[in-house]
């Protein structure tokens, strides 16, 4: 074996060893923080150092929620009773992407049970029973104080609150820790016509998923309609 080949072999073995060490080190840093969540999807960090987690729920109505997770892993509920429904592919859909700006949390609400699978691959039809919530396919703005964040154990949204939000009213929920206010900043069409050769009555469902804010604008990806929305979030 000549020297250049030996040098390449040594370098290759050293690189492999470093990769194994780096992988082992990375694995050693991975620890479970919290368990028992309901189909967690989105996360956001608050200015108090807590992690907010959106949970899609079980698919049963009002099983969606947003949890507060402390660095210790202790979980508390910020908001329970959020919409959840079984979507067109048979999975729970409810609260999705989160974005925190100051003391306002923006929440993308997924497609829920607005649609059902159509008769041919890739097709959808409106749910014949109608959606279980009027605020699927929307974005909510939730405002709460640092004190509420640190001590609350639960606020709960009701179906009447959901209807008020759909009617563009601001909802205020009180408990022993204080109060939170919720308003809807975007309510996208549940679906739009999207004819297919195999199914002329096909629809394309709106499914807000991820979001990020820049100044007074919120940019929302829509995984159902394959587009992004720009939303002015000023009241």
Give me the pLDDT at residue 52, please: 98
Low-confidence stretches of the chain (pLDDT < 70) are 1-28, 235
Distance from C-alpha of 224 to C-alpha of 194, rounded to nearest angstrom: 12
- C-alpha 164: how far from chain center: 22
Distance from C-alpha of 1 to C-alpha of 176, rounded to nearest angstrom: 78
Give me the pLDDT at residue 14, please: 47
- What torsion, rounded to 10 degrees, do the Cα atoms 232, 224, 90, 112 define? 20
3-class DSSP state of 48: coil
Give me the pLDDT at residue 180, please: 98
Give me the pLDDT at residue 173, please: 98
Tokens of 109: 């609400």
Residue-range domain boundaries for the chain:
1-29, 37-232
DSSP readout, 107-142? EEE--TTSEEE-SSTT-EEE-TT--S-TTSSEEEEE
């Amino acid at each position: 074996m000549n020297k250049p080949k030996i040098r390449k072999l040594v370098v290759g073995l050293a690189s492999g060893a470093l990769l194994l060490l780096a992988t082992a080190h990375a694995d050693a840093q991975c620890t479970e923080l919290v368990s028992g969540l309901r189909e967690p999807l989105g996360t956001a960090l608050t200015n108090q150092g807590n992690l907010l987690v959106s949970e899609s729920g079980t698919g049963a109505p009002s099983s969606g929620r947003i949890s507060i997770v402390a660095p210790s892993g202790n979980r508390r509920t910020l908001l329970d009773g959020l919409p959840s429904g079984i979507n067109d592919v048979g999975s729970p859909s409810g609260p999705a992407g989160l974005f925190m700006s100051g003391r306002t949390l923006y929440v993308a609400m997924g497609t829920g049970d607005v649609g059902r699978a159509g008769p041919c691959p890739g097709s959808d039809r409106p749910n014949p029973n109608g959606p279980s919530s009027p605020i699927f396919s929307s974005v909510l703005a939730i405002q709460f104080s640092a004190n509420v964040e640190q001590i609350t154990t639960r606020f709960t949204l009701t179906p009447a609150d959901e209807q008020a939000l759909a009617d563009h009213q601001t909802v205020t929920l009180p408990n022993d820790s204080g109060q939170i206010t919720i308003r809807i900043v975007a309510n996208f069409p549940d679906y739009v016509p999207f004819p297919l050769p195999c199914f002329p009555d096909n629809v394309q469902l709106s499914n807000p998923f991820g979001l990020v804010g820049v100044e007074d604008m919120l940019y929302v990806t829509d995984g159902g309609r394959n587009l992004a929305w720009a939303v002015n979030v000023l009241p």
